[in-house]
Structure 1
Amino acid sequence: MPAIHTRRPGLLLVAVAGSVILGACSSIGDSTRSALNTVTPYKVEVVQGNFVSKEQVEALKPGMTRQQVREILGTSLLSDVFHADRWDYVFTIRRQGVEAQQRRLTVFFKGETLDRFEGDPMPSEEEFVAALDTRARHGKVPKLEASEDELKKFDPKKDEKDTKDAQPAQPLPPLPASYPPLESGR
């Protein structure tokens, strides 16, 4: 019987230690779960279809041929055998951190000429690129214009004087009359 009494305190100790560990795990689990909720997995950028810009839509004029429309907009994403006089241009993009975009443009023909077109308002190319750029803007924009004084620093006449004072350029050696063959005869 004494062996049984010595086992009970050991079992009690194991049970207490186990409950303490499990209690600690649950509190760690809560913080881990909240950390995992803030970290998101990488999502692949999905681009489908033809991007059509506002400038391209403005270039369309009724009476254009199918080839002229194709040169401006590219090949349509959807061509239907049952609706041969209708081309659908659909564009979708899904990126992580950016709201998904979807735009549609439908072009209608009468015979071989453009009759009309309708669709979503399209962004200009500049607006579209700005919407895709998710990088944070830091710092000030550099000045892209030079003053008259700054331009005088790069006076081409001054550069010509400097080159005249320098040693004259050596003439290049003459080119050979013929070149050796690239492969030797076998």
Structure 2
Amino acid sequence: MHEIPRLSLRLYCLALVCISVLGCSNLGSATDRLATAATPYKMDVIQGNVVTKEQVAYLKPGMPRATVRDVLGSALLTSVFHADRWDYVFTLKRLGAEAQSRKVTVFFVNDLLDRIEADDLPSESEFVTTLRSGLSVKPEKLPALDASEESLSKFPAPAKRPAAELPVPAAPVRYPPLEPSR
């Protein structure tokens, strides 16, 4: 076999090291691009109750607590020390964007809505738009859902069945009582 002399092997290694060091000086932007491409996926973190302008506009002073709960949902924060106050807090954290935070506080007097203190709230369409803005793939434009009389005439009208052919509902199932009668 052919042996490589030690001197030429040393020169070969030295040349390889020099080329590597010279190549590293131009790798700054390439390594930055590689590092950003290799970052792990971080999902959006949505916490709390989303409260919109439309929901707050629906609330009127004098509404009972149950109605407020139906409109806004259960409060994120309720306090034993502030029984007449409900706090609705919402945060949205996503990669590459500043965290959003909104707060709505509802005050009650004698179990009736007294007043509302709220940050600047988005409308429902504005909120949905902020969720979609993070998508890397934009959804395609949806086709218009219009049906003209001409296009509907291509389909036959459903045949009406006589009442005798309609299925008869089954008799309800009667289960035994859970507890013995006394």
Contact 1:77-1:89 at 8 Å conserved across structures: yes
Contact 1:43-1:96 at 8 Å conserved across structures: yes
1:102 is aligned with what amino acid?
Answer: S
**Residue in 1 that maps onto 2:51:** 52
Q: Which runs of 5+ in 2 are unaligned?
A: 162-166, 171-182
**Residue in 1 that maps onto 2:23:** 24
1:94 is aligned to 2:96: no
Aligned residues: 158
1:37 is aligned to 2:42: no
Task: Summarize deviations over 1:3-24 as a string: whole Å, max 9, x none.
Answer: xxx8667545543332223323
Contact 1:98-1:132 at 8 Å conserved across structures: no
2:130 is aligned with what amino acid?
Answer: A
CA shift for structure 1 position 79? 1.6
Structure 1 residues 17, 84: closer, same or farther in 2, change over 3 A? Answer: same
CA distance, structure 2, for counterparts of residue 155 and residue 46 of structure 1: 50
**RMSD, aligned α-carbons:** 3.2
SS of the residue corresponding to residue 27 of structure 1 reads coil
**Residue in 2 that maps onto 1:130:** 129
Structure 1 residues 74, 10: closer, same or farther in 2, change over 3 A? Answer: closer
Task: Summarize deviations over 1:63-91 as a string: whole Å, max 9, x none.
Answer: 11222212221221122233222111111
CA distance, structure 1, for counterparts of residue 9 and residue 142 of structure 2: 71
SS of the residue corresponding to residue 103 of structure 1 reads strand
Structure 1 residues 79, 22: closer, same or farther in 2, change over 3 A? Answer: same
**Residue in 1 that maps onto 2:179:** none
Q: Which runs of 5+ in 1 are unaligned?
A: 1-5, 164-171, 176-186
- TM-score, scaled to structure 2: 0.69
- TM-score, scaled to structure 1: 0.68
Task: Summarize deviations over 1:10-50 as a string: whole Å, max 9, x none.
Answer: 54554333222332344346522333235543113211111
CA distance, structure 1, for counterparts of residue 95 and residue 20 of structure 2: 38
User: Which protein has the bigger helix share?
Assistant: 1
